Amino acid sequence: MGDFDGKVVYITGVARGQGRKHAIRFAREGARIIGMDLCAAPSEYVKYPTTTEDDLAQTIEKVEAEGGEILAEIGDVRDLAFQQDLVSRGVERFGGRLDVVVANAGICNWGKVWEIDEQQWQDTLDINLTGYWKTLKATIPHMLEAGNGGSILLVSSVAGLKAMPVQAPYSASKHGVVGLAQTAAKELGEHNIRVNTIHPYGVLTPMGGEDPDALEVFNTMPQFLPHFTPILGMGMAKTDDISDSVLFLASDAARTITASTFQVDMGAIRV
């Protein structure tokens, strides 16, 4: 018996990193997964390694190794029609229900407010904020139609509650996600659909651990380092740490929690 037996979960950015781990963990608990990922460079301003089709194939393999079922395809969160079509087919294939949504696909890049390019700003907002809205637009009608309630999680960041220097588009988009989530929470409460944001500090993924531009910033602008220092000096979180919170918020154990900003941040927001 798993905690999510018979449930259907949609996850964006599922090919690697946090999204992959969430898929594996939900599958282990009995859920069926609908997933998507770009599997290509999302923006010329992202300098950490690009996700590949092989990464997505590995996610599928790992989910199936847990005994899980997954429908996962290559696509862009900026493409509303793609998300709508994929979710519709997934919901039909998995019995006409959608219980959990994890809006997770995102990008990160660096630069001071007046030095970043227009395209850098636009790419980040298009993926990290408008892309999340498109995920909600593609999924909420199915949750309402199924009438089973549910849980929606929008992955924000420490940068969604505390402004981070040298990360203006990232910070602005992650703050925007909070407003989007809390609006949706107010509109969906009467349908017993809960909507929360989660706010990790650094997580050991290619975004969190392999970004040459981040190292460059920390080496050349040490005056900004205090903003990136958490209370708990334990290094970066593991993807499982974030999955623990995602599965909790998606579960009935969190049935009283909505419109929250759930911090998984080693206290970094309070520094």
**Of 268, 164, 264, nearest in space to 214 by CA:** 164
Name residue 264's amino acid.
V
Regarding 109 and contact with ligand NAD (CB under 6 A), the answer is no
Distance CA 117, CA 75 (A): 25
Distance CA 170, CA 168 (A): 5
Residue 256 burial (C-beta neighbours within 10 Å; 0-12, 13-18, 19+) = exposed
Range 11-70, binding ligand NAD (CB under 6 A): 12-13, 15-19, 37-38, 42, 51
Regarding 127 and contact with ligand NAD (CB under 6 A), the answer is yes
| Count of residues touching ligand NAD (by CB under 6 A) | 30
> 170 catalytic, yes or no?
yes
- Indicate which residue of 10, 45, 170, 201 is catalytic: 170
Distance CA 146, CA 129 (A): 26
Name residue 129's amino acid.
L
Nearer to ligand NAD, 96 or 179 (CB): 179
Give the dihedral sign, CA 49/125/218/163: negative
Longest dimension (CA), the chain: 54
**Options 11, 31, 105, 249; binder of ligand NAD; rule CB under 6 A:** 105
Q: How far is the CB of 20 from ligand NAD (least distance, A)?
A: 8
Range 211-270, binding ligand NAD (CB under 6 A): none
Nearer to ligand NAD, 66 or 76 (CB): 76
Residues with catalytic function: 170
Chain contacts with ligand NAD (rule: CB under 6 A): 12-13, 15-19, 37-38, 42, 51, 76-78, 104-108, 127, 131, 155, 157, 200, 202-203, 205-208
